Amino acid sequence: MAYSLIAIRRSFGDLLVLDGVDIEIPPSQLLVILGPSGCGKTTLLKIVAGLDPAFEGRREGFERARFSFVFQDHRLLPWKSAVENALFALSGSGLSRAEALTRIERYVGLSGLGGHADRPIRELSGGMRQRASLVRAFAMPADFLLLDEAFQSVDLKRKRELMGVFLDLRAMERNVSILVTHDPAEALWLADRVIVLSDRPARVIDAFDVDTPRERREPGTPEVATLERRLNAALLGL
Amino acid sequence: MPFTRNTETIAGEGQGATKKRLVGIVSVVFLVALWQIGAAVVGKEIILPSPARVLAEFISLAPTGEFLTAVLSTFLRGLEAFAASCIVGALAGFASGRSETVRAALAPLLTTIRATPVLALILLALFWFPSGFVPIFSAFLMAFPVMAASAMQGARAAPPELLEMARLFKVPRAKVFFELRLPAASPYFAAGARASLGLSWKVVVAGEVLAQPRLAIGSGLQSSRVLLDTPRVFAWALAAILLCGLTEWIFGRIVTRGAADGI
């Protein structure tokens, strides 16, 4: 089943933020929405999640959809462990505690958290916290995983590691992931499909599939370089 | 280099703690010396007995049955007042923090109690209650607004971004309350409880002085005063100070252990 957003407009007072955004989302895609800071990406994500009903346009196919989230600031309870944090979030999922734990353990195993999974979050490094946040997000049974600038607060090496963890976990769960970011390299590394938004008021100015297998997506490879030039041109308005 | 700097910092902190303790000891010695000099200058035991005289009086008083039962009775009164003010204060404060209506409803009561002089309250309570209960009631009424004020802050201590996270994941309200709001509020509860503990002792003893229950530190203070036995007044006061200090120390230990356990 496909999901679609059709002619989405959203203003805050006199400020028009989204100016007729159309997005078609096939099932089990990794969709990256790329756009300049402050263009309305988060607003769009909220509309997808059904958290912002005050928009114009149509939102179709989402009636029974369940959502999970990864935040830029991990948003974990500092006094609980990664496993307890995931249990806390999953208490809203309708799963029994045992079922929830089974799911959580599966993702903990893939996350690289290892022995850190049972330590309080406040004792963990930033990278481990983001892993815990990814475990929570994936363990939550959902049709959509929404990631709001989820890989922004770490350096390049950790970012690569985390995106690797993200892709490993994603291999288990065939849901739709929608990641918003302002970083073209991140978009090209992860995306099945990239949608580029303009400055505010945001419209879709470019959209394309990325078919290159991930092992050939290193920056500098011809395919990626071509796409990166295309994205930079779109973002810079050339 | 960073390692060296770290060890220096740790050593520095260790020295800081030792220094602090040393300054504390010097300060106590200085105060006792001042007291001793004052007693020597005054030269009248009935006005200001010497520290040695008070200590001797305390040692002779301490093993007596009258003294021990009095201290125990005062201790139990203080504990009851403290427990009641903690429970009522926490509930009232937390409810005010969560609801503007509750807050508006309780504000006049809390403001009035806070502005009421302790002695006025005790004197009124004397009309209403038996002598043993007057100190408990007065201490409860004085201490619970302190706890309530802290609990009210605690009710707002849960970070909004964590609350939003819980909302997005559709975490049930009861779970959010017990696992997010309460733990976030616990440092405020601890601070409020500590403040109301100290206040409870002072008001309990003041209430006892006026209400004169049969067994009480306050009654001991009052009867020694009537007999113009100043060293004994000091000895009873010392008992009250020790009781207060001891319970605050125990309370501090419990809170520290609770924090270490991650509550």
Q: What is the ipTM of this complex?
A: 0.86
Are A31 and A179 in contact by the 8 Å Cβ rule? The answer is yes
Across chain A, what does the average pLDDT equal?
88
Say if A98 falls within a structural domain.
no
Tell me what the mean pLDDT of segment A64-76 comes to.
90
pLDDT at residue number B261: 57
**% of chain A with per-residue pLDDT over 90:** 37
Q: Say if CB A182 and CB A37 are below 8 A apart.
A: yes
A120 forms beta bridges with A81
Return averaged pLDDT per consecutive 10 residues of chain B, 263 residues in all: 40 70 92 93 89 91 90 94 96 92 92 90 93 94 94 93 93 94 92 93 94 92 92 93 92 80 52
Helices B65-98 and B134-155 pack at an angle, to 10 degrees, of 30
State whether A51 and B179 contact (CB < 8 Å): no
Nearest by CB: B262 against A69, A75, A120: A120
Instruction: Indicate whether A29 belongs to any domain.
Output: yes
Neighbouring C-alpha atoms within 13 Å toward the C-beta of B111? 6
Token pair 């390299």 in the structure block, residue: A185
Share of chain A above pLDDT 70, in %: 99
Per-residue pLDDT at A235: 84
Residue in chain B closest to A92 (alpha carbons) equals: B171
Contact A92 B263 (CB under 8 A): no
What pLDDT band is residue A180 in, cutting at 50, 70 and 90?
A: very high
Dig out the tokens for B108 from the structure. Answer: 């006049």
Alpha-carbon span B67 to B110, nearest angstrom:
36
Block residue for tokens 């090496």: A157
Q: Is A68 helix (H, G, I), strand (E, B) or coil?
A: strand
Q: Of all helices (H) and strands (E), which one includes residue B40?
A: helix B2-42
Does residue A110 form part of some domain? no
Q: What is the pLDDT of residues A191-215, one digit of tens each?
A: 999 999 988 888 898 888 888 888 8
Is A165 domain-assigned?
Answer: no
Interface with A, mutate which of B161, B165, B171, B180 (most A CBs under 10 A): B165
Task: Return the pLDDT at B4.
Answer: 37
pLDDT 10s digits, A78-134: 999 999 999 999 998 889 999 999 999 988 988 888 889 999 999 998 889 988 999
Count up the domains in chain A and report the number: 1
Range of the domain at A212: 1-62+182-238
The CATH number covering residue A30 comes to 3.40.50.300
pLDDT at A7 over 80: yes
pLDDT at residue B5 in the model? 39
Residues of A with CB under 8 A from a CB of B: 49, 51, 67-69, 71, 73, 75, 77, 79-80, 88-93, 120, 140
In this structure, the number of other CB atoms found within 10 A of the CB of residue B201 comes to 26
Q: Which of A51, A79, A89 sits opposite B169 (nearest CB)?
A: A89
Residue A223 lies in a domain: yes
Asked if the structure places residue A224 within a domain, the reply is yes
Among A39, A18, A73, A50, smallest CA distance to A181 is for A39
